[in-house]
Amino acid sequence: MSIIRNLASTILALVGVLILVCEARFLRVTPGFVKTKGTELVLNGSPFLINGFNSYWMMNMAADPNQRYKVSNVFREASAAGLTVCRTWAFSDGTNQSLQISPGLYNESVFQALDFVIAEATKYGVRLILSLVNNYKDFGGRPQYVQWAKTRGIPINSDDDFYTNRVIKAYYKAHVKRVLIRINTITKKAYRDDPTIMAWELINEPRCEVDYSGKTINAWVQEMAPYVKSIDQNHLLEVGMEGFYGDSIPDRKQYNPGFQVGTDFVSNNLIQEIDFATIHAYPDNWLNGQNDTVQMTFMQRWMTSHWEDSRTILKKPLVFTEFGKSNKDPGYSIQARDSFMSVVYSSIYNLAQNGGTFAGGLVWQLLDEGMDPYDDGYEIVLTQNTSTCSVISQQSSKMIALEHSLSIPHGSN
């Protein structure tokens, strides 16, 4: 009898361990929402620093059940390399295979693909920045919203009417609400209640050709940011900007790469409901034809000027949400890319050391093996690009160590 009792106790103990293991497997994202405290990102009151990546294609790939393993592979490899945040699209507009087929009409199988992406991120301990619309025609974006209005017979001047037209703005708000209140069919959580999501992004790389001052986009953000917060007070919100300066502080325009795009880094990010600022940088594209020294000098100035403005004017955290080096650049080599990334990572680390305002960076972009149609020149496959994977892993280790050191109160041993 005692043997049976002991055996039963052992079995129950093993079941308990298995339950804990399974729970740990699916709850690797530390409970709690990422928040801001002054110019720092924080999680449960402690500094939260980022080494992350972009994989915009995840929902699109997961829409094919036979391809979902590629999403899992990238999360697994990224997590193993210490990457903790992924930026990806929560939009695709305008076709029967899109998330949003037409205004208010959604493809449930594609929504379930986004459910899968969020569930897999949770499983592998990766938080998400989810972007809500594209500036460009890829995956529909701003031009598709404008086309929907045209189809209804609404007079349209240009794609920039996206920011001002009442009907188009209503389309966008409806999409925002639909995504934020979505109940994940896998986790059973509403998106707005899921701490795996770190932040929402209003639009990927907003630009406005009819008004380079930044005022048109500013008015749009002033309307849309409070709307997002009226639905979801849990999550952080950012605009999605590249960092171009506008007219509010003319002196800062010297840091632009010779042109403006209709945003104003300072005024757009000063809006109260915007929680942190973002920058992108592609000096190989923006300064095409210039040598590596000129491009890297620009990059350092770009990072430093935005860090200073975030710290002293915005008083908000800054995240470098896109950077990379293309294999289509003249004289490209893996070594050149690794060197470029190492310099950028060192700059991020050095700036993050100074009070945490610079919260980290997200490289563009990670793919899985066999995803050639998604190659854009910037692709990194961690299982194939071992030297680059090493550079990324080293940065992850440095940022985690820095995060821990910033968590120790001053004066403690």
Residues annotated catalytic, as ranges? 205, 322
CB atoms within 10 A of CB 224: 23
- How many residues can be counted in the chain? 413
Half-sphere exposure (CA, 13 Å, Cβ side) for 290?
17
Please classify residue 296 by burial: count the beta carbons closer than 10 Å to its beta carbon, then call 0-12 exposed, 13-18 middle and 19+ buried.
Answer: middle
CA angle 393, 399, 402 (to 5 degrees): 145
How many Å apart are CA 40 and CA 108, to the nearest integer? 37
Which single residue is written with the structure tokens 């924080």? 42
CB atoms within 10 A of CB 84: 25
Closest Cα partner for 320 from 337, 336, 307?
307
Partners of 100 in beta bridges = 93, 106
Q: Which two tokens stand for residue 202?
A: 């209003």
How many Å apart are CA 181 and CA 289, to the nearest integer? 46
User: In this structure, which long-range contacts are made by residues 160-164, counting pairs with CB atoms below 8 Å and at least 24 apart in sequence?
Assistant: 160/208, 160/209, 160/210, 160/211, 160/216, 160/262, 163/208, 163/216, 163/217, 163/219, 163/220, 164/216, 164/219, 164/220
How many Å apart are CA 413 and CA 401, to the nearest integer? 16
Please report the sign of the dihedral spanned by the C-alpha atoms of residue 61, residue 63, residue 69, residue 72: positive
Closest Cα partner for 275 from 240, 246, 312, 327?
240
